[in-house]
Amino acid sequence: MLLIFGGLPASGKSTISKGVATEPNAVHVRVDTIEQTLKNEGFNKVYSEGYAIAYVIAADNLSLGSTVVADSVNSIKITRDAWRLVGESVGVPVIEIEIVCSDQEEHKRRIETRISNIERLAQPTWEEVLTQEYEPWIQEKYVIDSAGESPEKTVRKNAVPDCTGIN
């Protein structure tokens, strides 16, 4: 199974997707980690390379029978379609999950106080989050709102069919 997570920075998607990925036989593939590693290794500009690498890693692990939890902002239709194609090409079920934080003040506070767990990961400003390209997500998806509680609590209380790790 391929679980495709998306959402704006500091919406809670990485914490929630990591919580889901603690299930046995699950692999967490985070595009931010790949992109930052490329930058740390001397690639000055990273565009679609991080996603391209993530798709291949996901397909490899899906082919081995692992559940893959894909974690990325996933802000445009082309990346959402590409993630879906990864699962379909391997013949596994695909579930798309958008994480939102509907409380704008809480979301802003998260942006302003977050600490990276990735070496030298550049953190976006609140203004950058507000102006980031984020196309409407028109595909069938689950929406999980993390406002008003910690992402860890959101993991425990939300259920997505066939995703036992979210309970």
CB 88 within 8 A of CB 139: no
Q: What is the b/e burial string over 25-35, where b = at least 16 CB atoms within 10 angstroms of the residue's CB?
A: ebbbbbbbbbb
| Direct distance between the N- and C-terminal alpha carbons of the chain, in angstroms, rounded to an integer | 17
The pLDDT tens digits for 78-135 are 999 999 999 999 999 999 999 999 999 999 999 988 876 665 677 889 999 999 999 9
Sheet architecture: strand order including 142-145: 26-30, 67-71, 2-6, 94-100, 142-145
| pTM exceeds 0.75 for this model | yes
Q: Hey, where are the domains in the chain?
A: 2-154
CATH 3.30.365.10 fits 2-154, yes or no: no
Say how far apart CA 16 and CA 12 lie, in whole Å.
6
